[in-house]
Structure 1
Amino acid sequence: MIKRKKKNKQTNPFYDPTLKSRHASAARFKKFTLTSLIFSVAFLVFFLFDIVGKGVPAFKIAYVKVDVTFNAKSIDDSRFAVEKKFRDIVSRAWLRDIPVLIKQHPEYMDSTQHLWVLADDQVDQYLKGHNHKLKDKEIAIVDELYAQGLIEKKFNTIFFTNGDSKIPEYAGLYSAIIGSVLTLIITMLVAFPIGVMTAIYLEEFAGDNKFTRFIEININNLAAIPSILFGLLGLAIFINLFGMPRSSPLVGGLTLALMTLPIIIVSSRAALRAVPDSIRQAGYGLGLNKIQVTKDHVLPLAFPGVLTGSIIGLAQAMGETAPLIIIGMIAFIPDAPSMVTQASTVMPAQLFTWAGMPEGMYVEKTAAGIMVLLTILISLNAIAIYLRKKLEVKW
């Protein structure tokens, strides 16, 4: 039997002595990336479960059914509207609004009605099994009413119809939602046309010179600047220099527009660059000038990408807090603004304020607000994906 001699690796011209170590390094890198991915997904799942677990109880709030007396005495001092033993378990904010309730129901005057009344926040926390400050006497009253079916947890419409309040059970997101909508309208009215026109100029008309390169470098640098610096810029220019009203959606929208501009410009340029040159050459071959080719052919084809980038920039602006804190949009604003020049707050700033409150009900309302904000942001991204696909099919 003929034995073959083993070929010496050192004499093999194709032998790479680092091949084994490179394979081992690639395997380690693959394990590291997989581990990082698992940790990231686990953290995201833990975060979502924690937020949902804390936020879902906020969508229900306790009501107690008691006798409410409507007369001149109870209007002057709302404590006399209910029996003495129920005064500590009924919301002070609800009792304070008795004059408003009488205006809505004049027939209640000089009578006693058996009504569902908003319960105190400590009663709500007790029924949900959270930490509370109820005394033994109050707990006995609550347990007795609960056994009689006179205390229930109902859907928390107050969370969506009221503004901020110093009384936890009466605090809601309504004014913050309206402020966010007005702020984002100003942001898009300013950032979208300026950003798209800038991208068209840089990509289709500007030549390759020092001035253009200077603009491009600064746009890329602006995209990497911390957002709080845009708040300082908005404070210095719009409030101190131009005297615009502080804490208003107008100033907030302009500040967020400065922050969103680089995102819209970069994404719009990428969308314009993705349009094949053959489209432009075909237009030139038909005798069209550069403006006609850009307006009638290039921009419509690039519009899905432009729209997607703009909506993503809008979603990022909606979640910003730092620049709006600098311009004062974190102030206590219980009423929703009706104009862009009135003082208002936005959802991220409202949640930031609630997160610092000591009452337990604010904890669950903060988590519920985060759920609402995440739902809006996910919806905006879903709309961006839908519009992109729909417009791509069209063209």
Structure 2
Amino acid sequence: MTDKLLEISKIKKERVQAGLKRRRNKESRFRSYGIASILMAFAFLLVMITVIVFKGHTAFYTTEIRLDVQLDAETLGLKEGEVDPQVLGQGSYRKALRNALREVIPVDGRKDKRELYRFISNGAEYDLRDTVINNPELIGTTYSYWAQAGDNFNQFNKGNIRRDIPETSRQFKDKHIGWFDRIVEDDRVRTVFNKHFFTNGDSRDPELAGIWGATVGSFYTLLVTLALSFPIGVAAAIYLEEFAPRNRATELIEININNLAAVPSIVFGLLGLAVFLNVADLPRSAPLVGGLVLTLMTLPTIIISSRAAIKAVPPSVRDAALGVGASKMQMVLHHVLPLAMPGMLTGTIIGMAQALGETAPLIMIGMVAFIVDVPGGPLDAATALPVQIYLWADSPEKGFIENTSGAIMVLLAFLAFMNAVAVILRKRLERRW
């Protein structure tokens, strides 16, 4: 009898051990699947960032060509001794640059001249004009001027147009490559930091196009969004969490807020088009309208995060404040709100980061327009950084391809910075109970 009981006990023990082993194996496999998923996601992210950096890093530098420009009054169409800035600004600087370029590469025929002139950017004459206006003593001299190269010359120098592919497959023909090589042999080509990319607005010429106009437009749009969404969102969260009665109306409001957080962003763009533009008659393509639309989109995120932060404050804080004679409003404003503010700020910054990367709602209200000038205020016509990326991505020129990737890098840097600020604020301001 004893032997039989021992045998039964041994069998049960073996079954238990086998079951534990199977459970450990399942846990190990599940852990392995999780680690593999994280590594795969990280690998995809790394590949995406690598591709963007590989294609976009060339946008941060550009090519210049050194030309010996004859700045005599006759070539510029000016009077001798003229120093008036307004008159100097009307000089024929394009002619002077083209003459200097033909001195380096002598060509005949209108077609060859036209193709040679494309080696210089359209913006070079304006830079030369500003230089002469600031330094009128250059009139009558031969000025060694570094002119910004045109798009094809610039892309070929960067290696984005390869010389080993068939001539029919590239815009930079063999004849142009020969001219390029002659200019390089004369030590007239250099690569410099592309300041235009960070200081200019949009342009039809890729080498002149920049993100500054779109960046300022995004700044004004986010400024309007923050000024409206933060106080409204915090006030709504405080009311719903601390003062609103628990009834069917409140439950309906809460359900709608949660549902609005999942509504596609283009729906808010359609709402802004219908209400702010067609009914309120606000200016199209203005950051003010963009800020109003993004406010509607980010309010659910801010309200939900703010309510979660208020709920995280221990009830003992409320009881202690009420116990020493504080009114409910004083309890909320002086005790609950300061303790919940880190979570509210975190949710707000995350909402702003989401708004910074939105494109669809801004397209619907007209911020997709081609805007050259940098906006001077929230009522001026403007575009935003993600919309600018969308516009450039639709352009066929190679220069806009690298500009697109470069702008994406800048946008990702802004998003990473805003999320880092949210994490730092959370860590530094939060309190543990």
TM-score by length of 1: 0.92
Query: 1:57: Cα distance to partner?
Result: 1.5
Distance 1:207 1:10, change over 3 A: farther
Residue 333 of structure 1 is matched in structure 2 by 371
- Distance in 1 (CA, whole Å) between partners of 2:205 and 2:134 is 23
After TM superposition, the structure 1 stretch with the greater mean CA deviation from structure 2, 72-81 or 323-332, is: 72-81
- Distance in 1 (CA, whole Å) between partners of 2:393 and 2:153 is 21
Q: Verify: 1:118 aligned to 2:148, yes or no.
A: yes
1:88–1:138 CA contact under 8 A, matched in 2: no
Distance 1:17 1:141, change over 3 A: closer
Residue 165 of structure 1, aligned match among 189, 199, 203? 203
2:93–2:129 CA contact under 8 A, matched in 1: no
Residue 286 of structure 1 is matched in structure 2 by 324
- Distance in 1 (CA, whole Å) between partners of 2:12 and 2:68 is 101
The letter for the 2-side match of 1:120 is G
1:42-57 pair list within 5 angstroms: 42-57=43-58
1:187–1:254 CA contact under 8 A, matched in 2: yes
Query: 1:93: Cα distance to partner?
Result: 2.6
Residue 425 of structure 2 is matched in structure 1 by 387
Larger radius of gyration: 2
The letter for the 2-side match of 1:271 is A
Residue 88 of structure 1 is matched in structure 2 by 118
Residue 72 of structure 1 is matched in structure 2 by 76
- SS of the counterpart of 1:172? coil
Residue 315 of structure 2 is matched in structure 1 by 277
Query: 1:220: Cα distance to partner?
Result: 0.1
2:237–2:304 CA contact under 8 A, matched in 1: yes
Residue 297 of structure 1 is matched in structure 2 by 335
- Distance in 1 (CA, whole Å) between partners of 2:296 and 2:34 is 36
The letter for the 1-side match of 2:421 is I
- Distance in 1 (CA, whole Å) between partners of 2:292 and 2:134 is 40
- Distance in 2 (CA, whole Å) between partners of 1:394 and 1:119 is 59
1:79–1:87 CA contact under 8 A, matched in 2: no
The letter for the 1-side match of 2:308 is A
Residue 35 of structure 1 is matched in structure 2 by 36
Paired-residue identity, %:
46
1:65–1:117 CA contact under 8 A, matched in 2: yes
Structure 1: tracts of 5 or more residues without a match: none
Q: Verify: 1:129 aligned to 2:134, yes or no.
A: no
Distance 1:26 1:392, change over 3 A: closer
Residue 146 of structure 1 is matched in structure 2 by 184
Residue 369 of structure 1 is matched in structure 2 by 407
Q: How many residues align?
A: 393
1:196–1:306 CA contact under 8 A, matched in 2: yes
- Distance in 1 (CA, whole Å) between partners of 2:24 and 2:135 is 80
Q: Verify: 1:320 aligned to 2:358, yes or no.
A: yes
The letter for the 1-side match of 2:241 is E
Per-residue CA deviation, residues 317-357 of structure 1 (Å, 9 max, x unaligned), is: 00101110111111111111102111100000001111111
Query: 1:28: Cα distance to partner?
Result: 4.8
1:75–1:98 CA contact under 8 A, matched in 2: no
Query: 1:94: Cα distance to partner?
Result: 1.7
Query: 1:135: Cα distance to partner?
Result: 2.8
- Distance in 2 (CA, whole Å) between partners of 1:69 and 1:87 is 17
The letter for the 2-side match of 1:166 is R
Residue 301 of structure 2 is matched in structure 1 by 263
- Distance in 1 (CA, whole Å) between partners of 2:124 and 2:250 is 62
- Distance in 2 (CA, whole Å) between partners of 1:18 and 1:224 is 43
1:9–1:15 CA contact under 8 A, matched in 2: no
- SS of the counterpart of 1:92? coil
Distance 1:64 1:198, change over 3 A: same
The letter for the 2-side match of 1:353 is L
- SS of the counterpart of 1:244? coil
Residue 104 of structure 1 is matched in structure 2 by 134
- Distance in 2 (CA, whole Å) between partners of 1:136 and 1:96 is 30
Distance 1:11 1:365, change over 3 A: closer
The letter for the 2-side match of 1:68 is V
After TM superposition, the structure 1 stretch with the greater mean CA deviation from structure 2, 340-349 or 71-80, is: 71-80
Query: 1:67: Cα distance to partner?
Result: 1.8
- Distance in 2 (CA, whole Å) between partners of 1:148 and 1:244 is 56
Query: 1:105: Cα distance to partner?
Result: 3.1
- SS of the counterpart of 1:280? helix
- Distance in 2 (CA, whole Å) between partners of 1:46 and 1:134 is 30
Query: 1:203: Cα distance to partner?
Result: 0.7
CA RMSD, 1 decimal: 2.7
Query: 1:119: Cα distance to partner?
Result: 0.7
Residue 246 of structure 1, aligned match among 284, 294, 317? 284
Per-residue CA deviation, residues 139-181 of structure 1 (Å, 9 max, x unaligned), is: 2232233233321110010100111100110000010010000
- SS of the counterpart of 1:258? helix
- Distance in 2 (CA, whole Å) between partners of 1:210 and 1:177 is 44
After TM superposition, the structure 1 stretch with the greater mean CA deviation from structure 2, 175-184 or 354-363, is: 354-363
- Distance in 2 (CA, whole Å) between partners of 1:17 and 1:158 is 69
Structure 2: tracts of 5 or more residues without a match: 78-89, 106-115, 162-169
- Distance in 1 (CA, whole Å) between partners of 2:11 and 2:427 is 57
- Distance in 2 (CA, whole Å) between partners of 1:306 and 1:349 is 28
Query: 1:108: Cα distance to partner?
Result: 3.3
Distance 1:9 1:164, change over 3 A: farther
